[in-house]
Each structure stands twice: as structure tokens, then as C-alpha cells.
Amino acid sequence: MATNDHDASRRRIIKGAGLTMAAAAAAPALAGSQTGQNNAAQNTPRSLENPQSAYPRPPFDYQTQPWPALAGRMHPRPDHGEQSYRGSNRLAGRRALITGGDSGIGRAAAIAYAREGADVAINYLPDEEPDAREVVELIEAAGRRAVAIPGDIRDENFCQQLINQAANQLGGLDILVLNAARQQSHDSIMDITTEQFDWTVKTNLYAMFWLSKAAIPHLPEGGAIINTTSTTGWTPPEDLLDYAMTKAAISNFTKGLAKQMASRGIRVNAVAPGPFWTPLQVCSNASEEKLTGFGGDTPMKRPGQPAELAGVYVQLAESSATYITGEIYAATGGQTPL
């Protein structure tokens, strides 16, 4: 019975990816201005290219930063869609809160949402202010309202304040993207202290619970919650024991909450990235071998870039996805889920 459930889960992941692939692929286009989103030229399709060579491939330079790292100090710098993403009003008038919106996948979602017509609030740690300032400028350049709310989501009171402040300053809340995460590499369970374990679990799980619970009363019918899980949730690396555990729990929470929220007209889904080039990689205590070769073991021979997930977060938030809930969208660079 367990094997059948596992196979069904795998089919569901792949099905969810197929349902959204066409719309997600159509979102990014060639580089251009950040304004004039209604211009027909904004919809120019991206030129065909080999996806293996579309972005940087390993070996990468070995680099480390203290937690939390800044995207602006990475080399190569991640592509969040700053110059490539063009919108077509798919989220016009919507209001979104994105945790971890200063960099990485959260930043890519923030840029895409703004260029699709949404007002966006981002949460981040105070030390990430330089990256956050850039995101605020990009949202405003798209002609949308930007709200920056720094703070630590390991605190339940702050989580409640975060939701209330975002809803008040945006005039409501339609979309909640829970993306912020803590990841640290440890060779053995014996190396993970209780303090470190608590930090990871509170950031990745407690905050998801607190923020979802606080946001649901604000979300209207048609609203959406989008979590960020990971392929490590079903193929855990030996050095990311606690992180992978939380990502498996996020997938489970997503499916359960989706069932609860269906009667309220709120959809709940999750995105499960494989290896993506984000600040998490350079501040997670990863080995030199793992970092310099990051993503090279995928069929794409490279890590994904945050910009490559932007369209997925848009699709899961927009109204055309009304029948998609409780799904896990896997973006793995060809690493088939087990």
C-alpha cells in the first residue's frame, strides 16, 4: 500500500508540473523596459535556445558569505528576471506578500508579480536590506506599490504583525508566497545542535504555520497560498538532514491545507525546486566540491536560475489556475522525482 501511495504521489507531482508548464513557459521574454506592460511588444516570445547553455554552468568559483548571504555579492550573480521578465497583466490589481522576497526565488516572484500588475510586499532579514532595496526599486519601476517589511519570521508575534502590515499597506491580501528558508550543511546528525535544528524548523515550518493561519482571514475567495518546498523532500541529501525533513513536511502541509481551504475558495500549492543558484548556496556551509560543481549532476548540467521559476509562481497565483490546488510543481532540471 505504501508503494502505491508513493507512486500516486509521484504521478501527482508530475501532473501538476504538466498542468502549468505551458503557461509558465510563455511568461519570460527578451530583455526590455520594466514599464509599459500593456504594450503588445511585451509578449514577444523568447528565442529558442539550448536550455543546457542558457545560463552559467559549473565549475563555479568557490565562495562563501556569512548568513544571510546577499545576491549582489555572488558571482555569477543570479538572474531573477531583472532584464528578461515581461508581464501581460495576468495579476492586475492583485496584492501579494512574499517572504524571502529580497533575493533568490522570492525575488524572481516579486519582480514577475509586479510586472504582471500586482502590488507586492516583501519580507526579509534586516541584514538583507541592500538586496531588498533593489527589489523595491524594481517593483516601483513596474508602476506598482512596493512594501518592504524586514523582520525574523521565527517569532510568532512578528508573523502576525507581518500579515497585518502587508494587508493594511496593500489594501488587502490576495496572494501569500512562503519562500524564506534556512539551510545549513552538516556531515552528520551529531553535528547538528539543538539550537541549529530549532532555527531551521522555526524558519521553515513554524513560520509557514503561523503566517498561513494569520493570512487566511484576509484572503478572499480566489486567493492563493504558494509554498516553496524542495526536491530534497523526497530525495534527501545526507548533508541536509534537517532541511530536507522540513521540505517533506511543507509538501504534506500543502496537500492537507489545500483540502481544508477548498470550501473557502482558497487554493494552496507548492513549488519544489531542484538545484537553484541562490544565496542559500553560498551561506549554507556547503563543501567546496559541492558548491563549485553545483547543479552539474542534472541532465541540464547546470543549476536553475530564479528567473526560470518566475512564471510558475505567476501561474499558480492567477485566476486561470482555478482547478489547481494541493499540487507540487517540480522543477528539477531533469532529475526525475523518485
Burial of 217 (0-12, 13-18, 19+ CB in 10 A): exposed
243 annotated active-site: yes
Q: In what order do the strands lie in the sheet with 224-228?
A: 146-150, 119-124, 95-99, 175-178, 224-228, 267-273, 328-331
Beta bridge partners of residue 177, listed in sequence order: 98, 226
Identify the CA nearest to 218 among candidates 170, 179, 167, 254.
167
C-alpha–C-alpha distance, residues 24 and 231, integer Å: 19
Give bridge partners of residue 148 from the DSSP assignment: 122
Number of H helices, E strands in the chain: 9, 7
How far is residue 275's CA from residue 66's CA, in Å, rounded to a whole number? Answer: 20
CA 3 distance to own-chain centroid: 29
**Pick the catalytic residue: 243, 313, 323, 329?**
243
The residues annotated with a catalytic role in the active site are: 243
